[in-house]
Chains A and B, each alone.
Chain A
Amino acid sequence: MKSRKKTKYNLFVFLQDMIKMIPFHTGYLLLVAVINAFLPTVQALAIAEFVNRVEGAYGGALGVHMVLVPLILLLGIVVFKQMIPSVSNLVNASAQNRLKTVLRNRFMKKQAALQYRYIEDSQSCALIYRVCGEVEGRFWAGYQTVCNGIELVVKCVVLMSIVMQASVLSGAAILLVSVPLFSLAYRTGRQNYVLQKDAVEVKRRYQYLSAILSDRDHAKERTLFGYSGQITKEYDRLSDYANQKEAAIEKKRYANMKSGSLTMVMLAVIIMLLLLPALSSGKLSNGLYVGLVTSILNLVQGMSWNLSGIMQGVADFNAYLKDVNVFWAMEEKEDAAAEPLKIPGFRVESIEFRKVSFRYPGREEYVLRDCSFVLRGNKCYAVVGRNGAGKSTLTKLLTGLYEEYQGQILINGKDLREYRYGELKWMFSVVFQDFARYALSFRDNILVGNVKEDKEQLLEQVMEKMELGACVQELPWGLDSKLGKLEKDGVDLSGGQWQKLAIARLLYSEAPINILDEPTAALDPKGEAKVYEMFWQVTMEGERSKEEGISKGEGISKEEAHSMEKFTILITHRLGAARMADEILVLDQGKIVEQGTHKALIGLENGLYKEMFDSQRCWYET
């Protein structure tokens, strides 16, 4: 595993790897390839023997016993050719199974450990998809192509060596002729691969129009705006253009392929002609000549398809290995797969951004620019701002999803980068706007919030607080009902119920810092108000019972009091919800432009918060 991170895949490394993973299967395939390579020659010899014996016995008494040996050989070839595919298919299935287990695990682990930036980058995603989708199939196909290549080469060499034996001179002449012809065939095969790649680009545009004209996403606008006629005209024009281009490519491709075949036919004819003197002088028996010609002609038939198939396979696979190398070279996040790691006795005292600047990889503009602010423990904060002001970026930086920022982020005065990733995971729990709706049971969906401990009591408390009891009772199997469509008996929750579940998950985790990142964007105002009300109530309650518990000195230990303490950051563009926070931060153009209580901010003349708040409030003034 470790060495793989350093070594790059090339054909050699790949073969080594394959042999290590599936020694039996690779061996088998190679063996079959080699046997297959010898078959045409064996067949040629068998036919030669047969013809010679028949001819030798013309006029004389001819019995089956005389031709028994070549006949058995010929039949043997038929048996081998017919029976082996069944065995090969089984080996195939078994090899792919084994490869699947090894490779998928290996590739998925890498994928799960990547820096998060790759996941949000569509180009990297496309590459990852290309590399990891059906990886076992790609590897196996790569190996098959190699074996096919070996088979083809050995086939030609063996056959040639028989020819050489018959007549060294003509053999040498044949070699001389065949090298340039062969290389011509090879080159055209390669060219075809390039041509085919070009054709794909041309297609994409009219295929897009075809989607507009027929898919569901565009159905309403298509019907309402009635643009089908116009777009169809455009489709017609574009596909005519593309078809013309593709027809040209297709013609060239076939011309290439078939000129390769014709070359091979020519080669076969030349071989036959060159062997004629040997035949007439008797050096070469009639039988062997016929046998050789039969085999050579058979080879010619398959050659053009085989050769261009192998060429394409090799080129495809090389491109694939290149992608694989790019994938393996992608940076990993340290401890990416770590479980949350508790820091004993940790209390949030402060979170500080010190001149933090950040832009997404590959982007010009900065999302955060010299952004500085301090959040103190024991308070609830809200971050507001226009769309695209960088609010959600704060979450991504805090939770270590992106690390390529300038400046410093400090938690309790210690640089975020100095915490272990597991510790950060423990420290934060987040409800994202697009929070995960796992197709697990209701219970497991909440337990995900704290994978290390299973605290039935806490689960009950959380459920009660989020008023999920009634919802669970309605489900067919209560807490153990499967959610989502993965199982046949899975049930789906409404948007509001999922929302509550997501917050319950967050409450169930013992993270000292909670972030709610626009968690209610998908709810209507009524549902939204309800969720916020509930959430504030829960956090306030935590505060209160902590105070009570400590002051009364009973029931609650200090440790438990800590776990209830929830330092909260709410990110929203709905100002009404933000005002309930102890302090509000206003983010604009990558900076915090205002920070303070609702009252303080509303008092700021020309303040952005006031402006936004007023613009929403004025609707409600009568």
Chain B
Amino acid sequence: MRHKNFIYNNLVGIRLLYRMFPKSIILYSVLQMLHGVSWVLQVMSVQYFFDGISENGGDILPLVVKILLLGAAYAFAQTMNGVANCYGQILNRKVIKETNKVLFRTIDRKDAIAFEYAEELDRINKAVRGSEGVFWVSTTILDILFFYAFYFVVMSWYLFSLAPVLSISTVIIFIPNVITRLLHMISFEHLENEAAPVRRKMDYYGDCVIGKEYYKETRLWGCGSYFFDRYNQMLKKLNGLHFRMQLRKERVNFCIHVLTVAAYGAIIAMLVYYVLAGIISVGAFAAVFAALREFYGFMDEVISERLAIAIENMAMVKNYLAFIGEDPGEQEQIALPEKFEIRLEDVSFAYPQSGTEGEKFVLSDINLRIPWGQTVALVGENGSGKSTLCHIIAGLYSPTKGTVSYEGVQKGAGRIVRGISAVFQKFCRYSMSLGENIRISDAAGDKSADRLNRICDDVGVDPGWAGGMDGMLGREFGGTELSGGQWQRIAIARGIYRNNSLLILDEPTAAIDALEEKYLYEEFGRLSRNCTSIIVTHRLASAQIADRILVIKEGRIVQDGSHDELIAAEGEYKTMYELQRQWYQ
């Protein structure tokens, strides 16, 4: 079953490769075939030469010719080995580029929620890794067909031509190898599973001493030796497991190798018998004997290395192939009208989770209308669902139940390309130039310097931080590393740079200190005059710049009104507000 799948997926992989680079794949196969031939030529040239020695009567010249022929055969094999492998390496890079591009396109067409879903994320990660392996895994079959099989067939034919029975040596040598593989696949997984948690614990206790996360505290509390002891306990346990695992493996290997030796012995016995019986020449004996090592080596290589690695990585490639097979296709591009009303009807949302009992709703029964131009503040405790609501309004998550629509255009029909922008709590820090960091939010838009400069000016981004708009940011590529507050401002500039009618700001000032925070909020107040905006904030007082405040508690809207209205009523908002206010009395 497993092998059938393996071959099927392999063929799918080859088809994909063939569609991308038909000529290159054919060329690759031809090169591998020539490579296979070249190895057989070596064996033949050796026999030819050795026979020449036995029959030689003292004349050197024919031997010189034969030596040169032999040298040519070896040189040819070495050259083919280099050319075929080198071509494979280069082609591999080209293929990775293409498979990655297909991957990126598929990811781009997926819902952002996929990344919040542990299993789906795992699948995506596997597909990403799989993309790198498509070439090597898929070409395993090509290599086997065009190189190894070719080599073995021609060798068998050569052996057959020497003495028909000799050709069965191919089979004899093949069997123990296959048995080894099969045994390895079955019997060691559980030991590996046993070792994994021990290794994880060992690594963790090591981390408690020397990991960046724990270093200073473990030092200051003086508890390093405590973790050290635990580390060593685990290390000892792991070592024991490891050795036991190896011992079992080698026990199997040992038996297999006895078989191999027997097979080897049988072949040699046959050879000797034929030589003694005068059926094959002593030159052929020496040549075949010399070639046996290669013969066996290739067999080992194809089964223990190529096939084993391919089977191991097949899961990843399979994932990749399945993943790109799910490509939802070109999405309809929706550009929202310049002014739109947002409407949420009976919206509930639960993060997709598997295996846990029941769905846990982060948001329940949200009904909300946000008319064009309103500034709305979302307040509430951590974990109350504010950020999730933002993601739903931004169109990143589709509600589990209910509908979201923008001026009647319902989310779900396609990708919204224009009209919505946001600054998220966990904004990105791109290792690009300062200008690119901001312009990325509207990558296809106009690139006028004026607009960029004006926005930077508005939110307090100083191009001098990076030595100009083209200065690189982030340590990754040797750029300037900025402070948290500076990055935050760039994120805000990025959010604003995008052509938008709806701006969502999710705790946009978390990394900015009090003095500048006030300035930024005033700026937000000014900016939100030309668009609808939604601001998540902890600082209740800053919610006052909003026309309307929504208090979220445990996934529901518990209060809805202007600051004055809410402060006049007894309720969550007033309690929270008073609590904060008393600090500043």
Interface residues in chain A, defined as those with a beta carbon under 8 Å from any beta carbon in chain B: 47, 50-51, 54-55, 62-64, 67, 71, 74-75, 78-79, 82-83, 85-87, 89-90, 92-94, 96-97, 100-101, 104-105, 108, 111-112, 116, 119, 122, 125, 132, 204-205, 208, 210, 212-232, 235-236, 239-240, 243, 246-247, 250-251, 253-255, 257-258, 261-262, 265-266, 268-269, 272-273, 276-277, 279-280, 286, 289-291, 293-294, 297-298, 300-301, 304, 336-340, 386-388, 399, 401, 422, 425, 428-430, 432, 434-436, 438-439, 448-449, 451, 486, 488, 494-495, 509, 523-527, 529, 573, 575-577, 579, 611-613, 615-620, 622
Contacts and interface: CB of A to CB of B under 8 A. Distances in A.
Contact of B79 (A78, A258, A439, A573): A258
B476 A208 contact: yes
A434 B211 CA distance: 13
A87 B247 CA distance: 9
Contact of A54 (B275, B417, B511): B275
A204 B584 contact: no
B220 A425 contact: yes
Given A47-B289, A226-B415, A616-B514, A524 B382 contact: yes
B27 interface: no
A361 to B, nearest CB: 15
Contact of B104 (A75, A226, A232): A232
A351 B492 CA distance: 41
**A contact patch SS:** helix
A329 B382 CA distance: 46
A132 B484 CA distance: 31
B326 interface: no
A576 B541 CA distance: 13
Contact of B222 (A71, A422, A576): A422
B428 A218 contact: yes
**B contact patch SS:** helix
A449 B283 contact: no
B284 to A, nearest CB: 11
Contact of B421 (A86, A219, A224, A262): A224
B206 A219 contact: no
B220 A430 contact: yes
B467 interface: no
Nearest to B583: A576
B182 to A, nearest CB: 18
Given A272-B67, A526-B381, A301 B112 contact: no
A235 B108 contact: no
A89 B89 contact: no
A524 B114 CA distance: 28
B107 A527 contact: no
Nearest to A450: B221
Among B58, B79, B282, B477, find the residue whose CB has the most chain A CB atoms closer than 10 A: B282
B272 to A, nearest CB: 6
A225 B442 contact: yes
Interface in B493-520: 498, 511-515, 517-518
Contacts of A495: 382
Given A386-B513, A613-B584, A105 B242 contact: no
B74 A387 contact: no
Contacts of B56: 280
Contacts, number: 380
27 contacts: A64-B276, A74-B289, A83-B257, A89-B246, A93-B242, A112-B218, A116-B219, A122-B475, A208-B477, A215-B128, A224-B421, A258-B78, A265-B78, A266-B75, A297-B74, A337-B219, A340-B222, A399-B220, A425-B219, A430-B217, A432-B217, A525-B540, A526-B381, A576-B584, A611-B515, A615-B514, A619-B542
Nearest to B260: A82
B135 to A, nearest CB: 13
Contacts of B100: 210, 213-214, 235, 239
Given A216-B121, A294-B289, A388-B485, A54 B282 contact: yes
Contact of B103 (A214, A262, A429, A509): A214
B95 to A, nearest CB: 10
Nearest to A509: B221
Contacts of A221: 424, 427-428, 440-441
Contacts of B250: 86-87, 89-90
A418 B512 CA distance: 38
Contact of B538 (A210, A280, A525): A525
A254 B82 contact: yes
B529 interface: no
Interface residues of B, number: 148
B300 to A, nearest CB: 11
Contacts of A523: 382
Interface string B58-87: 111001100110110011001101110110
Contact of A300 (B74, B212, B272): B74
A235 B432 CA distance: 13
Given A220-B424, A262-B75, A298 B81 contact: no
B220 A228 contact: no
B221 A425 contact: yes
Given A104-B235, A111-B209, A297-B74, 14 more contacts: A63-B276, A82-B264, A213-B100, A214-B100, A220-B112, A223-B111, A223-B112, A227-B443, A229-B443, A269-B70, A280-B56, A280-B58, A425-B222, A615-B514
A105 B221 CA distance: 20
B454 interface: no
A425 to B, nearest CB: 5
Contacts of B81: 258, 261
Given A224-B396, A273-B64, A620 B444 contact: no
B377 interface: no
Nearest to B104: A213
Contacts of A486: 200-201, 204
Contact of A436 (B217, B239, B394): B217
Interface string B229-241: 0011001100100
Contacts of A266: 71, 75
Nearest to A336: B219
